[in-house]
Amino acid sequence: MNLALQKTELLASDGLATRIIRRKAKSMLAWGGLWATDQEDLEQELALAVVSRLPEFDRSRSRLSTFVYSTVQSAAANVVHRRRAAKRNRGKSPLSLDLQRGQPGQRPLTLAHCTTQRDLDRRTGTETPNPLDRASTKQDVANVLAVLPLKDASTCRDVMAGRRRKLPPKVIETLRLLL
């Protein structure tokens, strides 16, 4: 009997993969951006990932449950990444401001030359903020930092100063509750 077929039968008879896949699909719905009607599609995508990677499974290296769990986790992360990317770009690639466009018979211009200076500054991150907006934002940040526990406020200040790249999940959760 084919080894891959034996492994597929093992997965089907155990029900372990099905339980892991269903649990993961349900938790993905809670992340946001996914609908309850997507659950069946998610389960199918995750199951396909497990079945397609099944020939790589080696019982001497790990247990079946570990293999299924790690495969489902990886596939779920890929699904979320693809969906967020599609949502963000709507399937379109961003255009470079250096891209040249023009009418036939005329000298082509870069997209940077076809937009206002203010819009160009905003898109390239060189826009000088309005002093009133800046003061308002500074006050909002100060108000939030004032109510955070001292350690969390210190972590936020480190991120703002560039001494730290990312906020810990606990601090993010606290900020979500405050905002």
Taking the domains of the chain in order of start, what are their residue ranges? 3-89, 129-179
Nearest C-alpha neighbor of 148 from the set 120, 118, 179: 179
pTM above 0.85, yes or no: no
Torsion-angle region of 116 (φ positive above 0: left; ψ -120 to 50: alpha; else: beta): beta
Which segments of the chain have a pLDDT < 70? 1-14, 31-33, 88-95, 123, 162, 175-179
Instruction: Give the model confidence (pLDDT) of 102-132 as tens digits.
Output: 777 777 777 777 777 877 777 677 777 777 7
